[in-house]
């Protein structure tokens, strides 16, 4: 496929839809995180209706002023519906304005994913299966990352192209590979995190211990990878603004994320016993369901997704900037990368 | 082009395999969990083992099945709890069926929009669905989450061996336990706290009944005798004629446990103020210094002997190798025994030493009010080595070895002054302590 896109294809609409999709998905992930934090997943026992009402017709007074768990669960459903509608708009605009065949395919794929995600959410309620909640929690960030990729691929940067940063092909290849590995590692880390978070109360303490161990190990590995990405962007690609933003964001967010992770542990389980001799630990009482506890825990979840989003942004942009001429648009490799 | 070195190649291969392996574990894990749906109560294998070792008999697989059968007949399942029918005993004031329904089961709301599953939402990831302290997070926590099945609770107003009052449990749920993983649930509304307390009692009574039944089976029932060709007497025998007799007998065991809980409310130790504060008297500074000296003498003296455990400078470094009663059941000091217990599986944890409190920190797990400390010193801390001075109580002026009510108050004063006492210059009431009391 050629790079020269006709005027018709340069419509801003697909990009606008993709960006709004990303912007609506981030709060959706927050609210979804709150649903789990407050264990509100079963606050509404039916689906797709809410206590027998159509989703959009549920009395808003009861929603806004009723119980808190019902408020967030129903709010999560409404936001989810909004994201679904934006996705439909995106598909429509792509089919109308974008002639790239793979892009059209991708738009259908994202629609499929949002339907799957909604269905998983519904099945979690209907079957009251916490394991489904966990899978639902893993597909969420994947969808978010997919949205970011679509936003990049419908952007001007992608279509008009920007002057390539000056590097050797080896360096370019290295950065591409490194950012793809980082992306995959981050996703695996999110899945591990979801398992730590959604551990069934019937699970054995040994299982939980293994999960926590892997989650911590992976935190170290991801951090090392992001540090490498950061370093190479700082050193070599300082001149490429398109890579600078996601690179710096990753560096900053991983620091925030690690401190949120530590805080999450402390607000839920307290300081480790070896700190008992220090005054702050001995006087510390955990406060269950306090606002600071639920915000910390949910922030840890949401920032995880944000890190994934920037990793996707970095990788897709790098893939585009350092496209090897032989692999047409690199889209095949991209799709494989995203599917992982 | 620069060729990658062999070392770099190797590293990248290792990295590739590692990533794949972790990805597989991470993605396959959730699938494995899918099958188990209905929550069940775990059997108290550690206690069965403990009693087997004690009686040198075996508790056969049939008996274990019987035990499960009887227990679910009496108490139901985690999703459908039953309040055992115990004749004219007022079970409902200890465990109320409606409140249990509210606290039990999976988290969510029922068809009528009423909340359910409070226990699994707030407690089970630490205390376990069974209330055996075997929730998934348990191994990370020190002290381990409480195993309710012994029916032993630490921080209460009642004597050792007695049950806590409703107020005691409520205080724990609202205040939490500082310096442990036990959270404060002050954010929950009163009716939810109330339901949770009923559910904790339910789990505790169920657990204690299980222990009683294990003993009953081992001590009261005929064991199998292969030589005489006698089959083991069953705990729960559908074919035998005297089933209703047996059922009545088992209910008596449960009834006795419920009675202990019913009695708790009347057993709370009433605490009168010390004589020097009677009739609204004021405490002079000189008298206070005197009292602290007296408290200190008691602390280091032969009778109260707090120093033995809490250490020469009260930082909790005296007797540090002892265990609490939960850990003692695993016989940690008997060579070889512990391995037998740990082999029982995932819900039996390696025992840890219980450490006497560092009293110079000024943080108390059971509450910091003077009366809380009084209760701790007078009644001891049940389930731990911390002894009760009520054992050596004497009346004022009585000629025997012991402590008086006022002595205990002097100890309370002294304990509360410890964070402010300088180790080199004991019993100088310092400004900070003065300020705090005002």
Are B137 and A192 an interchain contact pair (Cβ–Cβ within 8 Å)?
Answer: no
Residues of B in contact with A142 (CB under 8 A): none
- For chains A and B, what is the number of CB pairs under 8 angstroms? 154
Residue to mutate among B35, B140, B186, B360, with most A CBs inside 10 A, is B140
Are B36 and A209 an interchain contact pair (Cβ–Cβ within 8 Å)?
Answer: no
Distance from CA of A207 to the nearest CA of B (A): 7
Are B29 and A211 an interchain contact pair (Cβ–Cβ within 8 Å)?
Answer: yes
CA–CA separation, A54 vs A46, rounded Å? 11
Q: Please tell me the total count of domains within chain A.
A: 2
Residues A34 and A145 in one domain: yes
Distance from CA of B346 to the nearest CA of A (A): 6
Selected residue with higher pLDDT from A37 and B356: B356
CA–CA separation, A18 vs A177, rounded Å? 25
Residues B158 and B181 in one domain: yes
Q: What is the ipTM of this complex?
A: 0.82
The answer as to whether B39 is a domain residue is yes
The answer as to whether A3 is a domain residue is no
In order of A318, A322, B257, the CA distances from A164 in angstroms are 10, 7, 79
- Quote the Cα angle for B73-B78-B83, to 5°: 50
Selected residue with higher pLDDT from B280 and B353: B353
A89-96: average pLDDT: 94
The answer as to whether B269 is a domain residue is no
pLDDT value at B34 more than 60: no
Residues A271 and A146 in one domain: no
pLDDT value at A110 more than 70: yes
- Domain's final residue, options A128, A160, A192: A160
Q: CATH number of the domain that B284 lies in? A: 1.10.760.10
pLDDT of residue B437: 46
- Quote the Cα angle for B23-B26-B32, to 5°: 130
Q: Residues B435, B411, B359, B165: is their CA dihedral positive or negative?
A: negative
pLDDT of residue B431: 42
Q: Which residue of B36, B113, B136 is in closest CB contact with A205?
A: B136
Q: Which residue of B26, B34, B139 is in closest CB contact with A205?
A: B139
pLDDT of residue A224: 96
Residues A128 and A255 in one domain: no
Residues A169 and A309 in one domain: yes
- Domain's final residue, options A111, A145, A160: A160
- Domain's final residue, options A130, A160, A190: A160
Least confident of A13-17, A44-48, A294-298, B51-55: A44-48
Residues B202 and B295 in one domain: no
Mean model confidence pLDDT for chain A: 85
The answer as to whether A285 is a domain residue is yes
% residues pLDDT > 70 (chain A): 88
pLDDT value at A114 more than 90: yes
Least confident of A104-113, A264-273, B295-304: A264-273
Residues B328 and B285 in one domain: no
pLDDT value at B248 more than 60: yes
- Which of B114, B137, B116, B117 shows the shortest CA–CA distance to B125? B137
Residues B87 and B43 in one domain: yes
- Give per-residue pLDDT as tens, A190-225: 999 999 988 889 899 999 999 999 999 999 999 999
CA–CA separation, B82 vs A22, rounded Å? 49
The answer as to whether A311 is a domain residue is yes
The answer as to whether A1 is a domain residue is no
* pLDDT confidence band for B230 (50 / 70 / 90): confident
B28-42: average pLDDT: 64
pLDDT value at A68 more than 60: yes
* pLDDT confidence band for B241 (50 / 70 / 90): low
pLDDT value at B432 more than 50: no
The answer as to whether B155 is a domain residue is yes
Residues A231 and A156 in one domain: no
Distance from CA of B134 to the nearest CA of A (A): 7
The answer as to whether B432 is a domain residue is no
Residues A155 and A242 in one domain: no
Q: Domain of B347?
A: 321-354
Residues B15 and B155 in one domain: yes
| B373 and B412 Cβ atoms separated by less than 8 Å | yes
- Give per-residue pLDDT as tens, B249-277: 888 999 999 999 999 999 999 999 898 88
Are A282 and B178 an interchain contact pair (Cβ–Cβ within 8 Å)?
Answer: yes
Distance from CA of A8 to the nearest CA of B (A): 42
Residues of B in contact with A215 (CB under 8 A): none
Residues A37 and A75 in one domain: yes
* pLDDT confidence band for B416 (50 / 70 / 90): very high
Q: Please tell me the total count of domains within chain B.
A: 3
Residues A216 and A336 in one domain: yes
Are B346 and A206 an interchain contact pair (Cβ–Cβ within 8 Å)?
Answer: yes
Residues A95 and A197 in one domain: no
Residue B328's DSSP bridge partners are none
* pLDDT confidence band for B426 (50 / 70 / 90): low
SS3 sequence, A47-103?
CCCECCECCCCCCHHHHHHCCHHHHHHHHHHHHHHHHHHHHHHHHHHHHHHCCCHHH
Residues B291 and B349 in one domain: no
Are B134 and A200 an interchain contact pair (Cβ–Cβ within 8 Å)?
Answer: no
Task: Output DSSP code: residue B305.
Answer: -
The SS3 call for residue A191 is: helix
Residues A295 and A148 in one domain: no
Are A282 and B142 an interchain contact pair (Cβ–Cβ within 8 Å)?
Answer: no
Look up the pTM and report it.
0.88
Least confident of A33-42, A170-179, B297-306: A33-42
Residues A289 and A273 in one domain: yes
Residues B176 and B223 in one domain: yes
Residue B115's DSSP bridge partners are B109
The answer as to whether A326 is a domain residue is yes
Q: Domain of A320?
A: 163-340
Residues of A in contact with B179 (CB under 8 A): 270, 276, 281-285
The answer as to whether A220 is a domain residue is yes
Residues A40 and A107 in one domain: yes
Residues of B in contact with A205 (CB under 8 A): 134-139, 346-347, 349
Distance from CA of B432 to the nearest CA of A (A): 16
Least confident of A144-148, A181-185, B111-115, B414-418: B111-115
For chain B, helix (H) and strand (E) counts, in that order, are: 16, 2
* pLDDT confidence band for A330 (50 / 70 / 90): very low
pLDDT value at A42 more than 50: yes
């Amino acid at each position: 496929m050629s790079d020269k896109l006709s005027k018709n294809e340069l419509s801003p609409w697909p990009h606008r839809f993709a960006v709004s999709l990303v912007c609506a998905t981030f709060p959706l992930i927050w609210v979804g995180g709150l649903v789990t934090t407050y264990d509100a997943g079963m606050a509404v026992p039916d689906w797709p209706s809410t206590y027998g009402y159509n989703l959009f017709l549920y009395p808003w007074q009861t929603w806004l002023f009723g119980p808190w768990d019902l408020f967030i669960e129903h709010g999560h459903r409404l936001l989810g519906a909004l994201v679904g509608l934006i996705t439909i708009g995106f598909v429509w605009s792509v089919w109308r304005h974008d002639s790239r065949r793979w892009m059209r395919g991708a738009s259908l794929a994202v629609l499929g994913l949002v339907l799957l995600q909604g269905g998983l959410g519904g099945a979690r309620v209907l079957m009251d299966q916490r394991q489904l909640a966990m899978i639902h929690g893993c597909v969420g960030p994947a969808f978010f990352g997919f949205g970011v990729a679509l936003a990049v691929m419908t952007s001007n940067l992608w279509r008009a192209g920007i002057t390539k940063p000056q590097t050797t092909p080896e360096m370019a290849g290295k950065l591409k590979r490194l950012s793809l590995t980082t992306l995959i590692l981050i996703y695996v880390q999110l899945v591990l995190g979801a398992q730590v978070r959604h551990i069934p109360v019937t699970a054995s303490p040994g299982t939980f211990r293994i999960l926590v161990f892997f989650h911590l190990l992976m935190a170290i590995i991801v951090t090392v990878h992001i540090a490498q990405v950061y370093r190479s962007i700082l050193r070599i690609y300082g001149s490429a603004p398109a890579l600078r933003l996601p690179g710096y964001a990753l560096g900053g967010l991983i620091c925030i994320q690690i401190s949120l992770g530590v805080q999450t542990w402390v607000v839920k389980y307290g300081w480790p016993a070896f700190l008992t001799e220090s005054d702050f630990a001995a006087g510390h009482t955990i406060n269950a369901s306090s606002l600071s506890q639920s915000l910390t825990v949910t922030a840890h979840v949401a920032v995880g997704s944000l890190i994934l989003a920037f990793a996707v942004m970095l990788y897709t942009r790098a893939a585009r900037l350092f496209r090897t001429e032989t692999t047409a648009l690199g889209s095949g490799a991209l799709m494989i990368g995203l599917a992982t | 082009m620069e060729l990658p070195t062999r070392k770099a190649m190797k590293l990248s291969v290792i990295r590739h395999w590692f990533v794949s392996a972790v990805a597989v574990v991470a993605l396959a894990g959730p699938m494995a969990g899918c099958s188990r749906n209905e929550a069940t109560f775990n059997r108290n294998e550690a206690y069965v083992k403990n009693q087997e070792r004690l009686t040198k008999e075996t508790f056969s697989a049939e008996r274990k099945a019987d035990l499960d059968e009887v227990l679910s007949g009496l108490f139901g399942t985690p999703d459908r709890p039953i309040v055992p029918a115990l004749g004219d005993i007022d079970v409902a004031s200890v465990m109320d069926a409606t409140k249990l329904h509210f606290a039990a089961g999976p988290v969510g709301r029922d068809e009528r929009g009423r909340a359910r599953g409070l226990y699994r939402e707030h407690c089970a990831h630490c205390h376990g669905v069974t209330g055996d302290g075997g929730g998934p997070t348990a191994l990370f926590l020190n002290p381990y989450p409480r195993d309710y099945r012994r029916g032993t609770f630490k921080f209460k107003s009642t004597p050792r061996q007695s049950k806590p009052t409703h107020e005691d449990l409520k205080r724990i749920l609202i205040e939490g336990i500082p310096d442990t993983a036990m959270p404060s649930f002050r954010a929950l509304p009163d009716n939810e706290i109330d339901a949770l307390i009923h559910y904790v009692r339910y789990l505790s009574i169920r657990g204690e009944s299980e222990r009683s039944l294990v003993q009953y089976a081992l001590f009261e029932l005929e064991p199998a005798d292969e030589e005489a060709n006698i089959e083991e007497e069953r705990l729960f025998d559908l074919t035998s004629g005297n089933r209703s007799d047996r059922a009545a007998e088992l209910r008596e065991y449960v009834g006795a446990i419920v009675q202990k809980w019913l009695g708790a409310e009347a057993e709370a130790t009433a605490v009168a103020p010390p004589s020097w504060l009677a009739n609204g008297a004021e405490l002079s500074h000189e008298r206070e210094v005197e009292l602290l000296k007296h408290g200190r003498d008691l602390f280091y003296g032969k009778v109260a002997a707090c120093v033995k455990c809490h250490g020469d400078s009260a930082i909790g470094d005296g007797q540090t190798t002892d265990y609490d009663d939960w850990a003692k059941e695993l016989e940690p000091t008997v060579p070889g025994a512990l391995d037998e217990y740990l082999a029982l599986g995932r819900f039996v944890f390696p025992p840890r030493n219980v450490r006497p409190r560092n009293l110079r920190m000024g943080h108390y797990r059971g509450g910091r009010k003077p009366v809380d400390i009084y209760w701790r010193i007078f009644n001891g801390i049940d389930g731990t080595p911390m002894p009760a001075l009520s054992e050596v109580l004497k009346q004022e002026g009585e000629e025997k070895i012991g402590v008086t009510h006022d002595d205990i108050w002097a100890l309370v004063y002294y304990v509360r002054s410890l964070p402010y006492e300088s180790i080199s210059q004991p019993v100088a009431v310092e400004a900070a302590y003065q300020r705090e009391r005002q």
